[in-house]
Amino acid sequence: MTATDTHRAIDAVFRIEQAKLIAGLTRLVRDIGVAEELAQDALVAALEQWPRSGIPDNPGAWLMTAAKHKAIDHFRRNRLRERKAEELGYEREIEQETAQPDPDEALDDQFGDDLLRLVFISCHPILSPEAQTALTLRLLGGLTSDEIARAFLLPEPTIQQRIVRAKRMLSDKRVPFEVPRGAELEARLSSVLSVIYLIFNEGYAATAGEDWMRPQLCQEALRLGRILAELAREEPEVHGLVALMEIQSSRFGARTLPSGEPVLLLDQDRARWDRLLIRRGLAAFGRAEALNAASARAPGPYVLQAAIAACHARAGTADQTDWARIVGLYAKLGEVTPSPVIELNRAVALAMLLGPEAGLNLVDALTAEPALRTYHLLPSVRGDLLRQLGRFDEARAEFERAAALTRNERERNLLLARAAACEAKSDGQKQQK
Amino acid sequence: MRFISMVKSTESRSGPPPKALMEAMDQLVKDAAKAGCVMVEAGGLLPTSNGARIRLSGGKLTIMDGPFTEAKEVVGGYAIFDVKSKADMIEWTSRFMDLHKEHMAGWEGEAEIRQLAEMGAEPCRSAE
């Protein structure tokens, strides 16, 4: 191996081992910030030694041992300053673990548990959703502050600050490093899933900026979801979320034209959908359904959304879509998590099933909804239904309103183009009269 | 990004890999998944005596049944992984090859990794 090869290999090893390392260390030192520093120290040690000694057979275990030695140093240094009984206890534990022979399999399970604890602490509800997202991407995704900042179109110091504050908050409040149990588990898991889906959605329909999608965020969210599915295999909602993200990701290639213009679901060339991702998505959906059936549980919000995505994925052409089933699924979803956005989606499906009039009635009922006042998709959907009913002037006004509300440039262009098309139709109508 | 790894070796040894190797590979795949590197698909190939080659050359098709005795090394299995970078794929494939040292002593072979073309995905930069 050349020096560059070794360096590249160390990078890869570290990327692979980092989350496990931080997770294991957090259990030992009870502080995410300290754990992250110790992991960095271990990396520095590897960078010094591996180019000379070669990469060890079990690099993960090597890094962990190196980090544990650093942890002991850390506690000894701290102890000189202030004698903390509990830290003495931690130190003894670390020493014991370090002295143990290497029971590989037990360690693997422990790693899995530690990683899951790391997921839960990063998405802890005492943190704001923004902080949860940044911390999750940093600790589990291994993204640098710069990468996170670029993905969210924010200045790097903002992200750095969020992460530092989040770590301090967790440390100050002494948030336990644990997997919640019983009734708490469900609530906490739902917060974890929403962080991952938030990351995915930010990539799938960028709220602002020049690009319609930022696929690297979707890929990162999908990766996190797949890891979580491995760590929490018995949770149907986890598989539901993974299924949803796999199926939505399958449409990447079809969602934009080469010029970057967005293509709406029903206009997409389905030959461009990624069959492999669909297959994986449907398999994950199957696992979720089987888990629900085995425990006689009703499907949760992610399984229901995955079911809707699966309906689209299974339809060979837009005409073959099972709209009746989709309308029913949106109704169930609305019962589980009432939301005007879900109602809006149900209206779209209803219009496909029964015609634009039926959809429009439902949409009109939503126009008074305060939560949707600045939501660009409401006028966009309304415009589309009005267009189908031949009410082009009203449709144009709605598309223009939607264009003014979106912060995504690609989407704004698409909406303005649809407004212009309505204007042309309207002129045509007037000439005929 | 997706990579396929094709494992080549001499065809002298027949039959499935030893059980210990299979178990070690299963464990490796699980570890990889926990690190966000997902095996999308994998399979082992039966001996080349079950296969054939169909060649188009000079406007002429030639069909040649296996076994491919002239080939020094033949593909015995493949796996497709979804990984974060080429370096990660190299690392996991190295770990995979390493398992043979312990569980299938004396085995020699080569894994070739190739990035799969994906719609909308850029080829990874050569530096990675």
> A176: closest CA among A121, A113, A138, A126?
A121
Amino acid A373 reads R
Domain end position, chosen among A102, A122, A144: A102
- Name the range with the highest mean pLDDT among A6-15, A134-143, A322-331: A322-331
Give the best residue of A4, A5, A11, A16 to mutate against chain B (max B CB count within 10 A). A16
Per-residue model confidence as pLDDT tens digits over A176-225: 998 888 888 888 999 999 999 988 988 876 655 556 567 778 888 998 99
Banded pLDDT at A106 (limits 50, 70, 90): very low
SS3 A322: coil
Reduced 3-state DSSP string for chain B: CEEEEEEEECCCCCCCCCHHHHHHHHHHHHHHHHCCCEEEEEEECCCHHHCEEEEEECCEEEEEECCCCCCCCEEEEEEEEECCCHHHHHHHHHHHHHHHHHHCCCCCEEEEEEECCCCCCCCCCCCC
Per-residue model confidence as pLDDT tens digits over A294-319: 999 999 999 999 999 999 999 999 99
Average of per-residue pLDDT values in chain A = 87
Q: Residue A415: is its pLDDT beyond 80?
A: yes
Cβ-defined contact of B38 to A226 (cutoff 8 Å): yes
Cβ–Cβ contact B87 with A under 8 A: yes
Per-residue pLDDT of chain B (128 residues), as tens digits, is 899 999 999 876 666 788 999 999 999 998 898 888 888 888 889 889 999 999 999 999 999 998 888 878 889 899 999 998 899 999 999 999 999 988 988 889 999 999 998 765 555 543 33
Cβ–Cβ contact A274 with B under 8 A: yes
**Does residue A388 fall inside a structural domain?**
yes
**Does residue A231 fall inside a structural domain?**
no
**Does residue A408 fall inside a structural domain?**
yes
Q: Residue A280: is its pLDDT beyond 50?
A: yes
Pairing of strands A208-209, A407-408: parallel
> A25: closest CA among A44, A43, A39, A42?
A39
Residue B4: which residues within 8 A CB-CB, separation 6 or more? B78, B79, B80, B113, B114, B116
CA distance B66 to B80: 25
Handedness of CA A421, A413, A199, A219 (dihedral sign): positive
Cβ-defined contact of B36 to A223 (cutoff 8 Å): yes
Give contacts of B 8-27 with A, CB under 8 A.
Answer: 27
Cβ–Cβ contact A19 with B under 8 A: yes
pLDDT given at position A353: 94
Contacts of A215 in chain B (CB under 8 A): 120-121
SS3 A298: coil
**Does residue A17 fall inside a structural domain?**
yes
Task: Give the domain ranges of chain B.
Answer: 2-115
CATH class of segment(s) B2-115: alpha beta
Cβ-defined contact of A252 to B31 (cutoff 8 Å): no
Q: Residue A388: is its pLDDT beyond 80?
A: yes
CA distance A88 to A134: 32
The ipTM assigned to this model is 0.76
CA distance A1 to B82: 25
Amino acid A414 reads L
CA distance A296 to A290: 10
The CB density around residue A348, as the number of other CB atoms within 10 Å, is 22
Banded pLDDT at A74 (limits 50, 70, 90): confident
B93 and B111 in contact (C-beta within 8 Å)? yes
> A43: closest CA among A88, A20, A13, A23?
A13
Cβ-defined contact of B91 to A13 (cutoff 8 Å): yes
Cβ-defined contact of B118 to A253 (cutoff 8 Å): yes
pLDDT given at position A425: 87
Shortest distance between the Cα of B34 and any Cα of chain A, in A, equals 5
**Does residue A354 fall inside a structural domain?**
no
Cβ–Cβ contact B39 with A under 8 A: no
pLDDT given at position A430: 81
Contacts of B103 in chain A (CB under 8 A): none
Tokens of A48: 């010094």
Q: Residue A130: is its pLDDT beyond 80?
A: yes
**What are the beta bridge partners of residue B110?**
B8
Domain end position, chosen among A57, A86, A102: A102
Per-residue model confidence as pLDDT tens digits over A323-374: 999 999 999 999 999 989 899 999 999 999 999 999 999 999 999 888 888 8
Cβ-defined contact of A226 to B90 (cutoff 8 Å): no
Is the backbone of residue B121 left (phi > 0), alpha (psi -120 to 50) or beta?
Answer: beta
**What are the beta bridge partners of residue B42?**
B79
pLDDT given at position A107: 47
SS3 A256: strand
Tokens of B13: 């040894």
Q: Domain span at residue A56? A: 1-102
Angle formed by the axes of helices A129-139 and A32-53, nearest 10°: 20
What is the number of domains present in chain A? 2
A39 and A22 in contact (C-beta within 8 Å)? yes
A272 and A256 in contact (C-beta within 8 Å)? no
For residue A208, what is the DSSP state?
A: E
Q: Residue A105: is its pLDDT beyond 60?
A: no
CA distance A309 to A401: 28
Q: Cα-atom radius of gyration of chain B, to the nearest Å?
A: 17
Per-residue model confidence as pLDDT tens digits over A220-244: 899 899 989 988 889 999 999 999 9
pLDDT given at position B34: 86
Cβ–Cβ contact A106 with B under 8 A: no
Phi, psi of A152 (to 5 degrees): -100, 10
B124 and B85 in contact (C-beta within 8 Å)? yes
> A392: closest CA among A347, A348, A430?
A430
Query: Which chain A residue's Cα is nearest to B119?
Result: A253
The CB density around residue A183, as the number of other CB atoms within 10 Å, is 8
Per-residue model confidence as pLDDT tens digits over A162-175: 999 999 999 999 99
CA distance A313 to A270: 9
CA distance A285 to A236: 9
Contacts of A223 in chain B (CB under 8 A): 36, 38, 84
Q: Residue A51: is its pLDDT beyond 70?
A: yes
Domain end position, chosen among A65, A81, A102: A102
Query: Which chain A residue's Cα is nearest to B41?
Result: A276
> A413: closest CA among A399, A426, A425?
A399
Cβ-defined contact of B35 to A227 (cutoff 8 Å): yes
Banded pLDDT at A247 (limits 50, 70, 90): very high
CA distance A433 to A272: 42
Region A273-284 average pLDDT: 93
Angle formed by the axes of helices A104-122 and A182-204, nearest 10°: 70
Tokens of A164: 């530092």
Cβ-defined contact of B36 to A224 (cutoff 8 Å): yes
Cβ–Cβ contact A200 with B under 8 A: no
Residues in chain B, total: 128
HSE-CB at B16 with a 13 A cutoff on CA atoms is 8
Per-residue model confidence as pLDDT tens digits over A19-36: 989 999 998 888 999 999
Shortest distance between the Cα of B10 and any Cα of chain A, in A, equals 25
Pairing of strands B74-82, B38-44: antiparallel
> A408: closest CA among A380, A387, A427, A384?
A380
Tokens of B57: 């050359």
